[in-house]
């Protein structure tokens, strides 16, 4: 079982066979990676954010500024508020979980164990493509109960 896909990125030609279905253990990895890429508030931060959503739209600037102040202080003091990852760091983080979803990797120019960083645009395109393909396998069942 598996889903074979062809790289659409000229700089990194080849094919990849993704596990289909994706094993549950790989899904756990995948979701952990996604969560790491997102910013995450601490309990105090969450309170401010909840307040933000309760505040009428026109008055949200004040709460938004309050959160920003908290967030900076909190993450600088080693608190639980976490900034998300930058695009490049997020790609690297996601690639670690991509490995768990791959059955065979036949892209000689792109070593999954030691991924190339350049050229930047081709690299981003390639990683975006593989992430999108995995997300499609992962999410498909949500749309159709019979899928
Ligand atoms: Zn915080």
Is the per-residue pLDDT at 146 higher than 80? no
Indicate whether 24 pLDDT > 60: yes
Calculate how far, in angstroms, residue 66's C-alpha sits from the geometric centre of ligand 1.
Answer: 11
- What residues are paired with 105 via a beta bridge? 16
The answer to whether the Cα torsion of 82, 86, 87, 90 is positive or negative is negative
Alpha carbon of 51 to ligand 1 centroid (Å): 14
Which pLDDT value is given to residue 144? 58
CA 91, 30, 136, 85 torsion-angle sign:
negative
Q: How far is it, in rounded angstroms, from Cα 123 to Cα 112?
A: 12
Ligand 1 geometric centre to CA of 43 (Å):
7
Q: How far away, in angstroms, is 49 Cα from ligand 1 center?
A: 11
Kindly give the distance from the C-alpha atom of residue 97 to the centroid of ligand 1, in angstroms, as a whole number: 27
More confident residue, 6 or 1: 6
Alpha helices by DSSP H, 6-108: 24-37, 43-54, 60-76, 87-99
Q: How far is the CA of 63 from the centre of ligand 1 (A)?
A: 14
CB 60 within 8 A of CB 12: no
pLDDT in tens, 67-92: 999 988 987 887 788 878 989 999 99
Which structure tokens are listed for 141? Answer: 């069942």
Q: How far is residue 18's CA from residue 5's CA, in Å, rounded to a whole number?
A: 8
CA of 69 to the centre of ligand 1 (A): 10
Average of per-residue pLDDT across 42-46: 91
């Amino acid at each position: 079982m598996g889903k074979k896909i062809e790289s659409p990125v000229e700089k990194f030609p080849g094919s990849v066979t993704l596990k289909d279905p994706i094993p549950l253990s790989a899904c756990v990895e995948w979701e952990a990676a996604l969560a790491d890429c997102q910013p995450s508030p601490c309990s105090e931060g969450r309170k401010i954010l909840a307040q933000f959503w309760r505040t009428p739209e026109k008055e949200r600037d004040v709460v938004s500024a309050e959160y920003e102040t908290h967030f900076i202080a909190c993450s600088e003091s080693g608190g639980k508020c976490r900034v998300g990852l930058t695009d490049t760091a997020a790609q690297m983080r996601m690639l670690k979980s991509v490995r768990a979803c791959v059955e065979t990797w036949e892209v000689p120019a792109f070593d999954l164990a030691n991924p190339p960083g350049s050229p930047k645009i081709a690299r981003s395109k390639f990683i975006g493509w593989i992430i999108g393909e995995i997300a499609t396998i992962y999410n498909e069942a949500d749309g159709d109960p019979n899928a």
